[in-house]
């Protein structure tokens, strides 16, 4: 039997948050820039558990920017553990993970949560499920590298990420210019083209 992280999984950006308020979200993982004020959108949500992490969506150190660090991914995994061990496991649940645009930090976090909940599921399958949830997914490579290590995947998630990048570039050629503009050349070089 296939294990899933939750019956309902959503990845989105900040602008999409108001549209999720009526979807019975029970657990939220917010990943935002450190300087961003508290988001008002959650005031319209019903009762939910929320964890907020603050770091920038970068893969190389930059002045006045907070890099993703191992402890950030540890916090993602704690969020996952808390969800998986919750007392009301039989109750309906909806896990929403968001970042600024719902493309990089949030998709890396969602992939991490799915890998945590499904330790025997191959990386390729996890990335296929991620794309079904968020077609424009371009997970932050630093976060995936930390998740790979912390989950004992021995490089499997990172290798699958390279193949995922290759598929995304093929289906969304505009990503090449976009990621280059954002200084994500190292991720473009990771891309494995079929």
* Segment 119-142, tens digit of pLDDT: 999 999 999 999 999 999 999 999
Within its chain, how far is the Cα of 92 from the centroid?
21
The pTM for the full model equals 0.94
Q: Mean pLDDT over residues 88-106, rounded?
A: 93
- Produce one character per residue of 101-116: b if its CB has 16 or more CB atoms within 10 Å, e if not: bbbbbbbbbbbbbbbb
pLDDT at 7: 72
Give the β-pairing of 94-99 and 27-32: parallel
Who's near 115: CB < 8 A, 6+ residues apart? 121, 123, 126, 147, 151, 153, 157
- Side by side, the strands of the sheet bearing 27-32 are 8-13, 94-99, 27-32, 49-54
pLDDT at 2: 43
CA distance linking residue 155 with residue 69, whole number of Å: 17
pLDDT at 1: 30
**CA torsion angle 105 120 96 52 (round to 10):** -50
**φ, ψ for residue 156 (rounded to 5)?**
-65, -40
pLDDT at 6: 57
Q: Mean pLDDT over residues 11-24, rounded?
A: 96
- Asked if pLDDT for residue 191 goes beyond 90, the answer is yes
52 touches 30 (CB < 8 A): yes
Q: Mean pLDDT over residues 170-188, rounded?
A: 95
18 touches 43 (CB < 8 A): no
Share of the chain above pLDDT 70, in %: 96
The architecture (CATH level 2) of 8-190 comes to: Alpha-Beta Complex (3.90)
At 51-89, the pLDDT tens digits run 999 999 999 999 999 999 999 999 999 999 999 998 888
CA distance linking residue 1 with residue 111, whole number of Å: 20
CA distance linking residue 106 with residue 104, whole number of Å: 6
98 touches 30 (CB < 8 A): yes
57 touches 100 (CB < 8 A): yes
CA distance linking residue 178 with residue 194, whole number of Å: 21
């Amino acid at each position: 039997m296939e294990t899933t992280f939750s019956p309902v999984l959503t990845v989105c950006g900040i602008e999409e948050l108001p549209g999720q308020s009526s979807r019975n979200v029970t657990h939220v993982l917010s990943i935002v820039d450190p300087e961003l004020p508290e988001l008002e959108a959650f005031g319209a949500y019903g009762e939910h558990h929320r964890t907020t992490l603050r770091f920038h969506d970068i893969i190389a150190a930059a002045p006045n920017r907070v890099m993703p660090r191992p402890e950030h991914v540890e916090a993602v995994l704690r969020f996952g553990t808390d969800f998986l061990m919750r007392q009301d496991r039989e109750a309906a649940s909806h896990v929403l993970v968001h970042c600024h645009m719902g493309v990089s930090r949030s998709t890396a976090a969602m992939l991490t949560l799915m890998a945590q909940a499904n330790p025997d599921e191959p990386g390729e399958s996890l990335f296929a499920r991620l794309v079904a949830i968020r077609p424009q997914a371009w997970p932050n490579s630093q976060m995936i590298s930390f998740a790979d290590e912390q989950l004992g995947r021995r490089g499997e998630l990172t290798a699958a990420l390279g193949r995922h990048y290759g598929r995304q570039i093929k289906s969304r050629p505009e990503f090449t210019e976009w990621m280059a503009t954002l200084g994500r050349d190292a991720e473009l070089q990771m891309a494995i083209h079929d």
